[in-house]
Amino acid sequence: MSNFVKRIIFPSAALLVLGALSTPVWAGDVKGKVTAQGMRSPENIAVYIDAIPGKTFPPPAQHAVMDQHHLAFVPHVLVIQKGTTVDFTNEDPVGHNIYWPAISRNRKLAHNMGTWPQGISKPFTFDVLGDVPLLCNVHPEMSGYIIVAPTPYFALTDKEGNYVIKSVPPGSYTLKTWSEEAKPVSQVITVGGSIVNANLTVKR
């Protein structure tokens, strides 16, 4: 083989090897279906990645919104990342008094947002993980939930129980659920750059 051919082939082969070694592993989607046993519906079940080892996540700049509309919390369940500021708005022509008696059953974290009329918005930043049951002192029939998740990788099931968590980085993680009625479940998953199917069953 001539020196000229060697100069062309060997560097090219080396580049191919380096390229293969440095090929990035892309993020993947986690999707599946949650089956609810002993419940009316599999809708509004939170599914989230519990932690990404070695990574922390700054609070998102964009606020989430929890509205009061037609004497109901909209949405009924809101999932947010820890550190998110939620704007509590009121679209009803009556006043609402928004409060939560605890966060994850810790009554020391109870808080009353006060009462305000239509068209007013009040912010609150949630820095504690867990479920926040929302109530209204003026309208006792109103109830809702905010779920504070540890990572930005979460989803909420639709009416059929389907969910999709987008762009999860590669690795092995614990997938967890929260439901207003069912006991929480967890499942270990491995994400490697393609779609990961994770079906879950929750029981009342």
User: Is 0.95 topped by the overall pTM?
Assistant: no
DSSP state of 9: H
pLDDT tens column, 9-65? 444 444 334 343 333 557 789 999 999 999 999 999 999 999 999 899 999 999 999
Confidence check: pLDDT of 95 > 80: yes
CB atoms < 10 A from the CB of 75, how many? 16
Query: Which CATH homologous superfamily contains domain 58-150?
Result: Cupredoxins -  blue copper proteins (2.60.40.420)
Contact 89, 65 (CB under 8 A): yes
CB atoms < 10 A from the CB of 86, how many? 19
Structural domain spans, the chain = 25-53+155-204, 58-150
